[in-house]
Amino acid sequence: MGFTNEKEEKSAETDKGNPPNVYKVGVPRQPDLMKEFTGGMKETFFSDDPFRQFKGQSSSRKFILAIQFVFPIFQWGRDYNLTKFKGDIISGLTIASICIPQDIGYARLANLEPQYGLYTSFVPPLIYAFMGSSRDIAIGPVAVVSLLLGSLLQDEIDPIAHPLEYRRLAFTATFFAGVTQATLGVLRLGFLIDFLSHAAIVGFMGGAAITIALQQLRGFLGIKKFTKKTNIISVMRSVWGNVHHGWNWQTILIAAVFLSFLLFAKYLGKKNKRLFWVSAIAPLISVVLSTSFVYITRADKVGVQTVKYIQPGINPSSAEEIYFSGDYVLKGFKIGVVAGIIGLTEAVAIGRTFASMKDYQLDGNKEMVALGAMNIVGSMSSCYVATGSFSRSAVNYMAGCQTTVSNIIMSCVVLLTLLFLTPLFKYTPNAILSSIIISAVIGLIDYEAALLIWKIDKFDFVACLGAFLGVIFASVEIGLLIAVSISFAKILLHVTRPRTVLLGRLPQTTVYRNIAQYPDASKIPGVLIVRVDSAIYFSNSNYVKERILRWLADEEDYLNANGLPRIDFLIVEMSPVIDIDTSGIHALEELYRALQKKDVKLGISNPGHLVIDKLHASTFADLIGEENIFLSVWDAVLTYAPKMVDEA
């Protein structure tokens, strides 16, 4: 008695002239509409199921869990100990030494008085420490958001002619920035910020860094009359227009010396990770030394501009200064939405980076609520838009921070500065603040990432370059608009022009792959196999149909030119097609009719759950015949070209 294997049985059936047995595609049960809708909503907004921990708990336990959910500090605080506190106090003091001089400079970018930068590093970090879920992020004003805010605000109100109205609009924009961030978190719409691609962010940040650095030429060169525009052409005109009478050589000397020192300290910190503290404390050392130098030499008498007066005391209330009515409400809302989204994008990116490095989970929606809450409270306590700073967060991480207590330590140091140390900044030269900002923003120019983007995806590089050039040659908001527009254009291009490829059989296998990727893959005589690599919707259905017909026409021209047999069967491989709508099905029906006129039979291979369900619901399966819907390309070939079985 002998035995035959499956291959031999299939070959025997083929020899008899009958197609071998093939599996049929399963048709799922008709889903319940409400269950399908709720399931889709849950997957979109609650894919992480944040409320799982509340199930099966008592009312008192649910209340405790709710408090811990909103304020994570009450959860991890139970395990807090002296060892963690040592790490947090060192990192908190370290980032405080960076933030104090930076905050004064960043306030100038936002066209606000220097104390408002310090205010923004006092209240928002305290709020975030209780509500945030990132252990490493350092909160405060940042260069890009400060420049963006200052640029957008001065387009509406002149900060010199109307300082009070300008400041009120800044608080209004901060309030709406917080509302935007908190709303995105509460409604779990955090996925919307992912529409701003990584390439666009790289270009935008690089352009903003150069723009910020160019803006600092005012303080670096000691120029008194400087353009309010941010584009490179206006800035360079202003710089060279003041070369004979506006530059101050004493200011340039101070700025150049300390910029060299800051860059050397940064280089030293990067070269030897153990010396990170040198780079961290360098800004504070520069401020102390330059201030002492100006005070001793009285350089302010020979044209060296100084910070002069910083109002002492903690944050005054500004709730009554926010515009809740009048013409400036809508303007503040528009500016706040833009600044809030940019701040949110930066903070979430920073938080995710360090979370992956320390291997813990970061709740993006919870982060948005925390950032929104701190900016709402900040707008009512004389703060402007705060977010996570990458440079300070990196120092915070390297200094050994353990929890968000490091932000509390930093806030306490800023508080002491506001109460007792502000008079010491009277002789701090503006040049040193410009040098500190220039050294800080250089790290935002990520040329290595830009080169990698060029190697990986040329269209991504166009988005990167467009955002970069838009910021430099137009304005920050134009650069941002270009970045968003190109990102959406890329999405639309991929949606409306999905990839379709021809498939061939790999030698001695039953595997069918893209013939452009696998040159050894061979076409099946008389059969054309096309794979559609996208869902088929109204936006691309007509293109998919026409592209398949073009594949067929090109193949027929080639076969006719070489005297080869014509195409009798066309197989559409649909495993990548995750969904299809009525326009897609209509396009398939038109494809079927067009093929009928050419006397070419249409076969469908491996449609997914949703697709096969809709094909049956629309009666398309009856139109082409269920026998022409196959589990795999191999099964379709076995039916249409059974002689290929012997070659497998």
CA distances (Å), 50 to each of 193, 292, 362, 489, 497, in order?
20, 54, 12, 33, 37
pLDDT digits (tens, 9 = 90+) for 514-525: 999 999 999 999
Does 506 lie in the same domain as 422?
A: no
Out of 437, 455, 488, pick the residue that ends a domain. 488
Does 358 lie in the same domain as 267?
A: yes
Residue 613 contacts residue 36 (beta carbons within 8 Å): no
Does 504 lie in the same domain as 484?
A: no
pLDDT digits (tens, 9 = 90+) for 145-201: 999 999 999 999 999 999 999 999 999 999 999 999 999 988 888 777 777 788 888
Out of 488, 517, 547, pick the residue that ends a domain. 488
pLDDT digits (tens, 9 = 90+) for 72-81: 999 889 899 9
Residue 92 contacts residue 410 (beta carbons within 8 Å): yes
pLDDT at 532: 96
pLDDT at 32: 62
pLDDT at 357: 83
pLDDT exceeds 80 at position 329 = yes
Residue 416 contacts residue 99 (beta carbons within 8 Å): no
In the block, tokens 């039953």 appear at 510
Total domains in the fold of the chain: 2
pLDDT digits (tens, 9 = 90+) for 473-506: 988 888 888 888 888 888 888 889 999 999 999 9
Residue 526 contacts residue 569 (beta carbons within 8 Å): yes
3-state helix, strand, coil in the chain (%, to 5): 65, 5, 30
Domain that holds residue 598: 498-641
pLDDT digits (tens, 9 = 90+) for 253-308: 999 999 999 999 999 988 888 888 898 999 999 999 999 999 999 999 988 999 98
pLDDT at 5: 43
Contacts of 559 (CB under 8 A, 6+ apart): 565, 566, 567
89 or 350, higher pLDDT: 89
In a domain, 36, yes or no: no
Does 363 lie in the same domain as 418?
A: yes
pLDDT digits (tens, 9 = 90+) for 220-265: 999 988 988 889 999 999 999 888 878 999 999 999 999 999 999 9
pLDDT at 290: 95
In a domain, 58, yes or no: no
In a domain, 192, yes or no: yes
Does 398 lie in the same domain as 480?
A: yes
Does 479 lie in the same domain as 515?
A: no
Out of 440, 461, 488, pick the residue that ends a domain. 488
In a domain, 370, yes or no: yes
Cα angle, residue 376 at apex, residues 371 and 382 outer, rounded to 5°: 115
Does 382 lie in the same domain as 351?
A: yes
In a domain, 25, yes or no: no
Does 287 lie in the same domain as 225?
A: yes
pLDDT digits (tens, 9 = 90+) for 415-440: 999 999 999 999 999 999 999 999 99
Mean per-residue pLDDT for 541-549? 97
CA distances (Å), 120 to each of 71, 101, 391, 425, in order?
21, 13, 17, 18
Tokens coding 131: 């509500």
In a domain, 70, yes or no: no
Mean per-residue pLDDT for 210-222? 93
pLDDT at 405: 96
pLDDT digits (tens, 9 = 90+) for 347-361: 988 888 888 888 888
In a domain, 280, yes or no: yes
Mean per-residue pLDDT for 210-216? 93
What does the alpha-carbon distance between residue 90 and residue 92 come to, in Å, rounded to a whole number? Answer: 5
Does 484 lie in the same domain as 513?
A: no
Does 297 lie in the same domain as 196?
A: yes
In a domain, 21, yes or no: no
Does 385 lie in the same domain as 324?
A: yes
Kindly indicate the confidence band of residue 105, based on its pLDDT and cuts at 50, 70 and 90.
Answer: very high
Tokens coding 408: 């509390």
pLDDT at 108: 93
Does 366 lie in the same domain as 285?
A: yes
